[in-house]
Amino acid sequence: MDVTLAATTGVRHRLCLAASPEHATEQLVATLERGEPVALKLDPAACPGLVDTAPPAMRPYLPAHWVVVVAYDAAADRFAYVDNRRQEPYVLGRRALEAARYGGEGDQNPRGVWMELEFPDDLLPPDVGHWLAVSRVVVAYRHTAGQGATKGLDGLARLGRHLRAWGTVLTPAQRQENALRLMNVITVAGGAKGACRALYAAFLAEAAAVLDAPGLLGAAARFREAGRAWQQLHAALAGVAAEPNAVGHWARGAPLAHALDGVLAAETAAIAATAAALPAHPPLGWRALSEAA
């Protein structure tokens, strides 16, 4: 995230930790008093905009969640923060905020982390930023070795192999937990659909205009199709979570296997269309930046 943010906009950020909750709050107040909002992580239990959208069965598996603290009321010793931009800011007192920043178990514990932004005198030109953003996604899809919805084609293929093995290597309780965790990833705790592919499709449509690359509109359509494929996988995983003992989930023609094949095919087609439509060279603004450097 940090590399992508700097590479596509010119804005850099640092992830920070404090020696104690009290010191973290002092840093937060000082930053807010300079008129700067602060992005930080909270225990998901303190994030109604996240928790309220998640089905009850998925809530125990929500990870620590980023919010933006936007104001401090010194008289009341309370902080206002934005969790979901479609909702009004929420408010927490000092002690409750500190508990939310340092509470929770496992990956639900934010460990007090916050983000500091460093804005340069000039951001990257929009066309350069869009070209870099799209090209980085193409590279990540084709060359990142990992597992999951954001780890590239190799990771998706590995994820498919792992899911097909759940029926023989995991207990029913483990299958249910893993299914719910992956459902969280695909829908952001139920608050989004299709692994956010529709959101990325909207960005590609914007990039098509900025870069004068109409082929990216076709790539956007492919990513919307990929989003629908992810939702089919989400539905198949919901079946696993509801009936983790059922042996039919692991049959060759079962919904889970069909959905896994559909996701990999749709993602492969989407990134191929994106790579084909992206201009081969960065915009002229990149050359001006290079010469200035």
For residue 198, how many C-alpha atoms fall within 13 Å in the half-sphere facing its CB?
10
96 or 132, greater pLDDT? 96
| Domains parsed from the chain with CATH numbers | 2-118 (3.90.70.30), 126-285 (1.20.1420)
Q: What is the reported pLDDT for 118?
A: 77
Mean pLDDT, rounded, of the chain: 88
Go through 190-213 and write b for each residue having 16 or more CB atoms within 10 A of its CB, e for each that does not: beebbbbbbebbebbbebbebbeb
| 165-205 pLDDT per residue, tens | 999 999 999 999 999 989 988 887 666 789 889 999 999 99
Type and span of the H or E element at 79 = strand 78-82
| 131-146 pLDDT per residue, tens | 989 998 898 888 876 6
DSSP for residue 193: S
